[in-house]
Structure 1
Amino acid sequence: MSMADKWNQTALLVIDMQVVREHDPQGRDAELFRRHLYSPGNVGPTSKGSVGAELVDGLVIKEGDYKLVKTRFSAFFATHLHSFLRTEGIKSLVISGVQTPNCIRQTVFDAVALDYQPVTVIVDATAAATPDIHDANISDMKNIGVETPTLQEWCGSGA
């Protein structure tokens, strides 16, 4: 397989930087443990149109990029991401973003279950609340066959 073919079959997923989690202003589509954040008179942290639902400074969705709105940790849960990726011929994923124990981990485990190969998590382009939490979750992902290079290692590997 040529390098061009490999790249044509690989997608970069940038998770929750904010790409993109939006909830109903009343929180009806949020997880049960988050619904208190959407109480009457309270604009929830990621309500559509709120500051919390905006992209982080410096991240731009360009023409040809695909914006996916999700309401749960996994980018695959109750979305059409898998169908979209398969239609585009995507077989491998490279993942960056936050939070390692939540949205990153859940998306990665679903990607492995859906037979994407390889699934790569760029360890220094993902983050958690603490380094220990990040490292423990990276270790769990390594144990299911996920590749976990640094950005420099990944770029230098001819990935």
Structure 2
Amino acid sequence: MSDHLAPHWDSAALVVIDMQADFTGIEGTVEVIPQVGALASAFRAAGRPIVHIVRLYAPGSDDIDLPRRALDNPPVAPGSPGSEIIAGLPGPVPLDPALLLSGRPQTVGDDEIVLFKPRWGAFYRTDLEAWLRERGVDTVVVAGCNLPNCPRATLFEASERDFRTVIVSDAVSQTSGERLADLASIGVQVLSVGAVADSLPG
């Protein structure tokens, strides 16, 4: 593995994408909940940062992406039960829609935050990069819902910013061999929850 691609586990952060109640109907998302939970627990035990990325579709907002803009009742409406992070990830912490929509992070634990993203990728029009850089992070580990859309976009954006990148193949919904091979071709490391947990410091 190239020295430029190898994860630096002592400077890694976990980015969990769109694990919200309204998205549990997306194929494979319910099935990865235990693995995402185990991964988050491993990062907490290692004292490494965690960012939970969420969508919030305010009716009529330009932040609703085009494929969903025509829906009468878009999912993850701010303040709705469907917008909440799935129980246990990170826990029973109600989201603060006003805070999140302002672009500010909501703290839910030690070096653990929730951050709103207005589009597919978690770095687009957010403070994610600055928050990670402040903590010396150079390796981004991605899990969540669902690979063709937001995790994939986030990994491309991370690579464009010279972060080392990892996708946790058994903690992301709608993976396939072809999709994972496409990511590996741009230098994303494809690893399992077990492999990541065993590699973390401590």
> How does the TM-score come out when normalised to structure 1?
0.82
Aligned partner (choices 117, 122, 134) of residue 87 of structure 1: 134
Separation (CA, whole Å) in 1 of partners of 2:200 and 2:9: 11
Q: Residue 172 of structure 2 aligns with which residue?
A: 126
TM-aligned CA deviation for residue 136 of structure 1: 1.9
Q: Which residue of 1 aligns with 2:101?
A: none
* Preserved contact between residue 9 and residue 199 of structure 2 (Cα < 8 Å): no
- 2:84 corresponding residue in structure 1: 54
Q: Which residue of 2 aligns with 1:27?
A: 61
Query: Are 2:15 and 2:143, in contact at CA under 8 Å, matched by a contact in 1?
Result: yes
Against the structure 1 CA distance between its residues 141 and 33, is the aligned structure 2 distance closer, same or farther, given a 3 Å change threshold?
Answer: same
Q: Residue 115 of structure 1 is aligned with which of 157, 162, 170? A: 162
SS in 2 for 1:145: coil
* CA deviation after TM superposition for structure 1 residue 8, in Å: 4.9
Report what 1:103 is aligned to.
Answer: 150
C-alpha separation in 1, matches of 2:126 and 2:14:
17
Any idea what the Cα deviations from partners look like across 1:65-95, whole Å, max 9, x if unmatched?
Answer: 1211112110011111111111221111111
Contact 2:15 2:142 in 1 (8 A): yes
Aligned length: 145
Higher strand fraction: Structure 1 or Structure 2?
2
Answer yes or no: is 1:17 the counterpart of 2:19: yes
The one-letter amino acid of 1:149's match is: L
Q: Confirm or deny: 8 A CA contact 1:25 1:47 kept in the other structure.
A: yes
**C-alpha contact (below 8 Å) 1:100/1:127 kept by paired residues:** yes
Superposition deviation, residue 135 in structure 1 = 2.4
Match of 1:139 among 168, 172, 181: 181
Q: Which amino acid aligns with 1:36?
A: A
CA contact (8 A) 1:15 1:103 kept: yes
CA RMSD between the two structures: 1.8
